[in-house]
Amino acid sequence: MNYSNALKVNWVTPRRIATRTCIEIQKFYNFDVFGIHEVMVENRNDYQLIFNIRNPYSRLVSIFYLWKIHNPKNISIQFEDWVKVFTDELHSNVDTYTIFLDKIVDSLPKPPDFYVRLEFLEFDLRNLWFIDNQSVDVNNLIENNVNKNNYKSSDIPWESYYNQELADLVYLRMERQFEMFNYNKNYWKDGTP
């Protein structure tokens, strides 16, 4: 778990949700631990809790590419087939890639105090209570790590991986995440998070 004793902050950064960007901010603010995906809130239950989230549709595409890097022998698997396997109930208990964010939230000792949404990353980061938006250094940090960050898993837009049938399956299996984080079921086709 990323945390700062000085700021009294725990910050959950699941895989494929702006971890690299947030690491730079955590370093700047001298977090005691940064760049960790694991969730362990030991002896810091009174700290403010930040949790990074991302629309399940785009996040699954990103996790799929990460999975392919880790599993080069399975490089030919198609996204649709991968989704059918990795979002089923059997895999929800062995969640290596933290696909089921709602279960992580449920496991926390308290609900998050603040969500950082990938789709509104700059806005949400600037609204964290400890971010000094007047600081030139902070503005440069955000400019270089959010606005100029062009990291992407693929040159193919994530929306193109979906058709109605697959989007409906993802929504069915991850409905609780859509509701918990207030994401639009039709985001994959209408562009509204």
- Rounded to 5 degrees, φ, ψ at 181 are -105, 5
Spacing of C-alpha 181 from chain mean position: 11
Confidence check: pLDDT of 151 > 70? no
Beta bridge partners of 116: 52
Q: Which residues contact 192 (CB under 8 A, 6 or more apart)?
A: 184, 186
DSSP 182: T
Looking from the CA of 110 toward its CB, the CA atoms found within 13 Å total: 15
Residue 3, both tokens: 């945390």
**Could you report the per-residue pLDDT of 106-118, keeping only the tens digit for each?**
988 899 999 999 9
What is the CA angle 18-143-26, rounded to 5? Answer: 50
Structure tokens at 104: 């992580």
Average pLDDT estimate for 79-86: 94
For the stretch 154-173, pLDDT in tens is 678 899 999 999 999 999 99
Write out the DSSP string of 115-169. Answer: EEEGGGHHHHHHTSTT--TT-HHHHHHHIIIIIS----S-SS-GGGG--HHHHHH
Residue 10 in contact with residue 47, Cβ under 8 Å?
yes
Residue 41: what pLDDT? 65
Share of the chain above pLDDT 90, in %: 64
Distance (Å, rounded) from C-alpha 138 to C-alpha 120?
17
Q: How many residues does the chain have?
A: 193
Q: Are strands 2-4 and 9-12 parallel, antiparallel or unpaired?
A: antiparallel
Write the pLDDT tens digit of every residue in 5-31: 999 999 999 989 998 899 999 999 999
What confidence tens digit (pLDDT) does each residue in 51-67 have? 999 999 999 999 999 89
